Amino acid sequence: MPGTFLPPFPDDVRVHPLLVVDFELIKARDQQEVKTLWEAATSLGFWYLKNHGADKEVDNMFDMGAETMALPLDEKMKFEQGDAGRSFGYKMAGGNAVDASGKPDTVEFINVSKDDALSYPTIAHRTYPETVNARMESTIVPFIRKSLEVNSVFLDIFNEKLGLPNGTLAKLHEIHEHSGSEARCIRKPPSSVKPSPSEIAIGAHTDFGSLSFLHNRLGGLQVLPPGHEEWSYVKPLPGHAICNVGDALSLFSGGILQSNIHRVVPPPGIQSNYERWSLVFFTRPGNSQVLRALVESSSIIADAVKQKPEKSFDTNSTSAQWFARRIKNQRMKNRTGPETWAASRGTEHTPTKA
């Protein structure tokens, strides 16, 4: 946890560098910085973000996560997300598959809906453990508001770069429309014995929504960059968040913005002896929005789609349907065989690499 001792990230593992984007410069629309952001978002779809101004909110969220995970398992299970394709709530370790063979995951997490947090104490979707309620106003709402602010700045820049009419992406993510947007705090227990080289904490996936704002302290996150055969770690940098593009934004943009495949494995080297915590805010489109390339609104997007005739950017699915399908089919309890894993896939280009 933040504030406690963390061993260094080893220097003998393969690392993939990310471009660094300075949020203060982005807000000031510094042209060089916007260029760097655009390059990152259209190549790997991942970048480091410094000067995001959310450090205090992030630390408080990790405290909320620690208090929640310390509850007895039977208490946490009262708030389990269930098997119907809903994400909000608690997910126990082993609840999801990590690959087509049905191997279980090794992380537990708590997901708090943006809608439940912003309407609290009125329930929008569901209830949460006491440890979440106690910090809803002091910790969770401030973190969600900060994250929404950061991601909406990115959406406005992408809107402009994609040649969309003003406010198009903002409208697809309108704050008052119910959505799958959520804050997630994740705990991976330390490996008690030598970590198994085959342990996967979170299986290979692309993120389901539009933008993810991620905070981690220990290594373990890996990306499979386009054209690579091997996974590389993304090294956590103090004071830097990791941001990435998800399926929805990739689809809206006709594949111009990249939703890259990633996974979580045990932290490398001596870091594996420590508990790993991470925190994400996922900005996802409003539930009713259909996931398809915005070809009628932008000639840049229409051209991009024309150049990739082999790819489909029309999912015939609303954001809510897309999200529910992916959640539901990664649940171990819904698994019938490898076809269930296949049904949980999004825009991953290389699902066989899982």
Ligand X SMILES: O=C(O)CCC(=O)C(=O)O
First-to-last CA distance in the chain? Answer: 29
Q: Which of 182, 204, 187 is nearest to 87 (CA)?
A: 182
Residue type present at position 317? S
Residue type present at position 127? T
Of 128-136, 157-165, 213-221, 321-329, which part binds ligand X (CB under 6 A)?
213-221
Q: What pairing do the DSSP bridges indicate for beta strands 20-22 and 46-50? A: parallel
User: Token pair for residue 124?
Assistant: 């929008």
Site string for Fe ion, 209-238 (x = CB under 5 A): ------------------------------
Instruction: Tell me how far, at minimum, the Cβ of 325 lies from Fe ion, in Å.
Output: 16
140 binds ligand X (CB under 6 A): no
Instruction: Tell me how far, at minimum, the Cβ of 244 lies from ligand X, in Å.
Output: 8
Site string for ligand X, 239-268 (x = CB under 6 A): -----------------------x-x----
Of 5-13, 22-30, 146-154, 214-222, which part binds ligand X (CB under 6 A)?
214-222
Sheet of 46-50, strands arranged across: 20-22, 46-50, 241-245, 211-216, 276-283, 182-188, 108-113, 89-91
List the single partner that 61 binds among ligand X, Fe ion, none, CB under 5 to 8 Å by kind. Answer: none
Nearer residue to Fe ion within complex by CB, 33 or 207: 207
87 binds ligand X (CB under 6 A): no
Strands (E), the chain: 20-22, 46-50, 89-91, 108-113, 182-188, 202-205, 211-216, 221-223, 232-233, 241-245, 262-264, 276-283, 290-292, 314-318
Nearer residue to ligand X within complex by CB, 33 or 247: 247
Quick check: bond before 121 cis, omega within 30? yes
Residue with tokens 């699915």: 317
- Out of 33, 116, 207, 247, which residue is the one contacting Fe ion (CB under 5 A)? 207
List the single partner that 278 binds among Fe ion, ligand X, none, CB under 5 to 8 Å by kind. Answer: ligand X
| 3-state DSSP assignment of residue 253 | coil
List the single partner that 186 binds among ligand X, Fe ion, none, CB under 5 to 8 Å by kind. Answer: ligand X
207 binds ligand X (CB under 6 A): yes
Residues in the chain, how many? 354
110 binds ligand X (CB under 6 A): no
Instruction: Tell me how far, at minimum, the Cβ of 346 lies from ligand X, in Å.
Output: 11
Q: Which residues bind ligand X (CB under 6 A)?
A: 184, 186, 202, 207, 214, 216, 221, 262, 264, 278, 280
Q: Which residues bind Fe ion (CB under 5 A)?
A: 207
